[in-house]
Amino acid sequence: MIKNISDILIETIKEHYLTSPDYNGLSATALANKGLEITKVNQVISALVLDGYVGVLSDKVDDNPHINRLGFPNIERQLEELQNNINSCILYPTSKAFATEADHECINPMENLLKLGYPQLRFIYFEYDILFHYAIDPRIHFTFNDYSGSIVSSDETDKRRYINLKTFGIGRDGSRFVIAALPRDLRNMSLANQMLWEAHRIQNPINCKVLNNYLENELYGNWNFPQTVYRSILEEEKNINVLSEHIFGEKFFRETFNKSELHGFEMLPFPSRNLYNNFLLLLEKISVSNINEKIFDKLIGDATVENGKRISSLTCLSKWLDYVCPQGKDTICNPLKKVRKVRQGPAHKILSDNYEPGLLNEQHEMCASVYESFNALRILLTSHPRAKGLNLSLKDTQYIVI
């Protein structure tokens, strides 16, 4: 059967794409080496672009057009490049070009996405639950910090379950949290892990968005690491201690922490009730139980004692605020009271574990309120006459919201 020029072009572009080391496109000028006259086939290529079988990149569209990094520009721009800049055009088969093949599937699902033309730097989105398979396995080096992480097998891991995902990020699918990763990283997993991630892949990611800071770090080399609410809480504690020691000669918190010292003070790797309860206990120790009661001897004196007993630090804080800033008392005290209240259950009862996706948002809201409490207290202390001219090293503690 004599093949027409369109079939020959598609087969030539596909063959180069599939046999190249990294799913590279075929330069339009290379067609001449295959006995095809560029000027004669330009019209045919344009028709294939219009029909969705071929995609076009050029050095005017992408810094590295030899790899389909982010996808193709609109049809009009592709045709414009073919018309005015054909010698720098790089041609790719699209997923539609593979759709008619009976045997087009690859055994590795992540590899198959690339084989079928998925852009190498376009994020794939997964259900947040995928992290559960790695977060509690001691054979896996699982790191999760500042809305991104990595998953690397230890030497104890069976090679059939090998994983070396150097980076993943956090995103949103509407209101729910999701995991985002790049196909070029996912393709290096073992088959077992590729199948596992494929089972958690979000098939319709139209509403999925990755955290913008993470996207800029991964794709554009802008190393602007995001400030998280967890880190912001710890930074405000440091600010408050500097201010209170300068003003009153006593630290407000017994201790301050660096985030690297606090294992688990971050987003839950899995929304289970047990993990959330453990986080609440840690948050309470860092915040409410960390308040230095001695400072109130200077702030409210004998009012720290009622009926012969010393009152709680939160009650002392509330009394002091009644004197100095009653309008700000609820903003400062209520979040800390809530932390103390909600941690009472896991601290004194044996509770059953449950899977509760809403805990991710609940955790974020709880921490956001604690940050607002500490931020308001810091602003109040900054207004003290003795704080005038005091330079805080951590002036901007605002965190990103995903």
Residue of 374, 339, 78 whose CA lies nearest to 238: 374
The two beta strands, 54-57 and 90-93, are antiparallel
Bridge partners, 169 (sequence order): 148, 180
Bridge partners, 165 (sequence order): 151
Pick the more confident residue, 34 or 390. 390
User: Mean of the pLDDT values across residues 294-306?
Assistant: 89
Q: What are the C-alpha distances in Å from 182 to residues 69, 169, 187, 340, 377? A: 10, 10, 9, 41, 42
The reported pLDDT for the residue numbered 1 is 38
The tens digit of pLDDT for each residue in 150-191 reads: 998 876 666 777 888 989 998 999 888 999 999 888 988 888
The tens digit of pLDDT for each residue in 79-126 reads: 998 888 888 889 999 888 887 654 455 578 888 888 888 888 889 999
Q: What are the C-alpha distances in Å from 251 to residues 294, 318, 393? A: 9, 17, 17
Structure tokens at 208: 């999925």
74 confidence band (pLDDT: 50, 70, 90): very high
* Strand ranges in 122-258 using DSSP code E only, listed in sequence order: 124-127, 140-145, 148-153, 164-173, 176-181, 208-210
Kindly report the CA angle at 396 between 332 and 377, in degrees rounded to 5?
A: 15
Structure tokens at 149: 């992480």
* Strand ranges in 322-380 using DSSP code E only, listed in sequence order: none
Query: Residue 291 in contact with residue 369, Cβ under 8 Å?
Result: no
Q: What are the C-alpha distances in Å from 52 to residues 29, 100, 205, 236, 238? A: 21, 13, 21, 54, 58
